[in-house]
Amino acid sequence: MVPFKTSVFILALHLLEGALSNSLIQLNNNGYEGIVIAIDPNVPEDEALIQQIKDIVTQASPYLFAATEKRFYFKNVAILIPENWQTKPEYVRPKLETYKNADVLVAEPDTPGNDEPYTEQIGNCGEQGERIYLTPDFLAGKKLHEYGPPGRAFVHEWAHLRWGVFNEYNNDQKFYLSNGKNKAVKCSGAITGKNLVNKCQGGSCITKACRSDRVTGQYEKECEFIPDEQQTEKASIMFAQSIDSVVEFCTEQNHNKEAPNMQNEKCNLRSTWEVISDSEDFKKTTPMNTQPPKPTFSLLQIGQRIVCLVLDKSGSMAIGDRLNRLKQAGKLFLLQTVEQGSWVGMVAFDSAAYIKSELLQIHSSTDRAALVKSLPAAASGGTSICSGLRSAFTVIKKKYPTDGSEIVLLTDGEDNTISGCFNEVKQSGAIIHTVALGPSAAEELEELSKMTGGLQTYASDQIQNNGLIDAFGALSSGNGALSQRSIQLESKGLTLQDTQWMNGTVIVDSTVGNDTLFLVTWTKQSPQILLWDPSGKIQNGFLVDAQTKMAYFQIPGTAKVGIWTYSLQTSLQTLTLTVTSRPSSATLPPITVTSKMNKDTGKFPSPLIVYANIRQGAKPILRADVTAVIESANGKTVTLKLLDNGAGADATKNDGVYSRYFTAYDTNGRYSLKVWALGGINAARQREIPQQNGAKYISGWIENGEVKWNPPRPENNENDLQDKQVCFSRTSSGGSFVASNVPVAPIPDLFPPCQITDLKAEIQGGELINLTWTAPGDDYDHGRAHKYIIRISTSILDLRDKFDDSLQVNTTDLIPKDANSEEVFVFKPENITFENGTDLFIAVQAVDKVNLTSEISNIARVSLFIPPEAPPEASPEAPPETSSPFVPCPDVSINSTIPGFHILKIVWQWIGELQLKIGSN
């Protein structure tokens, strides 16, 4: 068995969490600043790697500059060096740079030898990606034949990351039929090469020409397009930047619009340069007249975590038991969430600020208990947020610079002077995490999080939603020790009536179990608490804090793997249950669930998208039951079932990212997001990672007429764990967002059906066309559409640009199904010439009950191929063609006009027969 690499553990812990992408990149006078490249702590210390990172960016900058018509270059980069590497004078402490907001991660590959550079993209065309992944061997130039110079590949990935463009090749479908002939999926079409198969058996390999299937006309699956090493074509970087002559992106003029690749599918047939030209970056710049300077680099080394709690104790905190809820959530943070070795201080504020605790390093439970005693005990006075922040800076500066420190700021009150300390916050280099409690917290609060890259959260006064404890539970370190990271397994609440029970189960899987904590809170009197382990043994030992109205049970050692069962009984009050744990091993990556909205602000009627990313290391977890709960400022909740079906809001099927549109705006103001994920008998790790948005792996090159094959791409080990079912339970706080422009109820229906993005077409029975797609809804991906409009054309551009003028298919009998159901429709093309070699293009539009229409779907295509008449059967003694070890004779039919052609044809036939006889012997 090939073990998961610990470096993947770090991927899951550091880079798949957070409410929103907090990239620090800025574009300043054509130059990109604030790029963060992080080295995974499990990469062996090697100074050469730092130089290689500098080299790749330095090489990439002029290539990017030329490719973008002198518009963009790399100006400065921060390299984040692990804490466990040797300390050096030139390494300085980071400010806002963390593993959580790194734009590039350098880590060992999950599958040995798989050094493909790729970019995580969960959004649609034109939307920025999450981050770029590189390996040490790739940076060291050990994959030149497969991916080309590292600097060029970095520009390919940068286009994914920054401008949201996609690949112009397709590993799943390398050829397509056009006018009845096979064409390679490439861009531009002027790239030259040959279509070949590398057949290997018994340790020896031969190169053969690709053959077409007699029935479908399509090339055999093993067929590859092998490019010529010497080219003159300049485009395109998103096809194969490794070709020496390629120095440009495809434009509208040379883009291959028919190729079935992600760029065409996601971007409505637009070229990469068209998408780049529509970007905000492009609109902000003009071409430069001079060559840009070389990039500069800063070397930053991670240090100990320094965090100061800044807690509101103003008079309004007495409303709705807010102060006591603060103490409950603060106690969870101090007892469980914050990592061993961290330095923690505390400040409380009302009209003024009060230092409750100087920085104290957490070594033991005694240290944690001392900090718990410092939590504010009474509420009174006004609200002065800046006073609290300034006192926090003072506390931190007594021991450390404020660079890279963290402040957790909680407030429920309005403060119209908060902007008075914005400049001090910017200059401090500290990261501010904000917790807005209740409906009246200062509107400017989120600005502190945005300007410093912190997490922004919101908790309502609806205690049963457990929002405040969730907010504090989400504050694990962006750079913390891996074995100390707190993972939330459960978060539930319920208001009980007469002697009701709150029953449920929590799964402790094998990837967690250390330092497991069950925490129960109540609003009036202590409930009856019953807890059974997976063997059915009842667990005693809950510690009751009657004053704070909470009880907790810390399981010694590692908790038993399996289903833990709880029952809580009480009357006429609200209970909550929170369960947290830590990874069971430093080498086995835990299953993680991280959630976020695609934006931190929503303006009605624009929809938002909810994302939940479920991973074990780099492997996606499929078929999990994932539910998002979105709570508005009014305390109302909306529940959404998230899907990984590649339709609607979900960009890619089976990639472990579950998505859904949010349209149920209720009121203006803050909304919070929480996600529950449950893995049962159907959930499983994916055996293979889906096609990444990365640089093209070149299977081989044609050099001076000779084919030189590269080693085959590494495949996942069949004996690895990732194909086995997984059972787990997780909750994840996705932070908060702010809605505006929401009209007073009744809210009008302004939401059309979502775009159909997975339309597929196949020829059926020679003349029928079978269409399949995922049904959209009445409001994006909710409800049921009213009808479909299907149109066809023999011109792909006419169908895209003149959809309403294209030939309409009769859909009288096609009644839409509920959103996310599979639709199937079969029709026979009429009033259009459909003969052998005809390419037919199809698109669908959905219409809702108030006649709002969706965007036009992706364009599906079919190419009618009528098989030629079957040749006479071969004589019994003639071996099948596949038995010949020789390259087939060339097809000379196109040369029938050359002198002596008939004689040549006889000679070629004689040579072919001789080859077959020799091969059979």
Q: Catalytic residues, which ones?
A: 157
E strands, 65-203, are 73-74, 76-81, 104-106, 118-120, 131-134, 175-178, 181-184, 193-201
Quick one: which of 489, 562, 487 has its CA closest to 12? 487
Cβ count within 10 A of residue 707 = 16
Cβ count within 10 A of residue 639 = 10
13 secondary structure, DSSP code: I
CA distance 578 to 212: 60
- Cβ neighbours of residue 351 closer than 8 Å, sequence gap 6 or more: 314, 381, 382, 383, 384, 387
CA distance 454 to 362: 22
Please give, one letter per residue, the 3-state secondary structure of 338-379: CCCCCEEEEEEECCCEEEEEEEEECCCHHHHHHHHHCCCCCC
CA distance 346 to 281: 41
E strands, 423-499, are 431-437, 456-459, 487-496
- Give Cα 218 to chain centroid, integer Å: 33
Give phi and psi for 867, each to the nearest 5: -60, 145
Element (H, E) at 807: strand 807-808
Quick one: which of 350, 618, 625, 629 has its CA closest to 465? 629
Sign of CA dihedral 96, 99, 103, 105: positive
- Report yes or no: 125 and 275 within 8 Å, Cβ to Cβ: yes
- Report yes or no: 534 and 605 within 8 Å, Cβ to Cβ: no
| Residue burial 587-626, b: 16+ Cβ < 10 Å; e: rest | ebbbbbbbbbbbebebebbebbbbbbbbbbbbbbbbbbeb
Cis peptide upstream of residue 605 (ω within 30 degrees of 0): yes
CA 580 vs CA 151, 513, 517, 693, 811: distances in Å: 43, 9, 5, 34, 53
Quick one: which of 541, 499, 492 has its CA closest to 521? 492
**Which single residue is written with the structure tokens 């999450």?**
130
| Residue burial 30-46, b: 16+ Cβ < 10 Å; e: rest | bbbbbbbbbbbbbbeee
CA distance 287 to 67: 12
483 secondary structure, DSSP code: G
Sign of CA dihedral 64, 65, 71, 72: positive
Give phi and psi for 470, each to the nearest 5: -60, -40
Quick one: which of 657, 624, 320 has its CA closest to 465? 320
Cβ count within 10 A of residue 136 = 22
- Cβ neighbours of residue 173 closer than 8 Å, sequence gap 6 or more: 185, 260
In degrees, rounded to 5, the angle at the alpha carbon of residue 846 between the alpha carbons of residues 842 and 848 is 165
In degrees, rounded to 5, the angle at the alpha carbon of residue 312 between the alpha carbons of residues 309 and 317 is 140
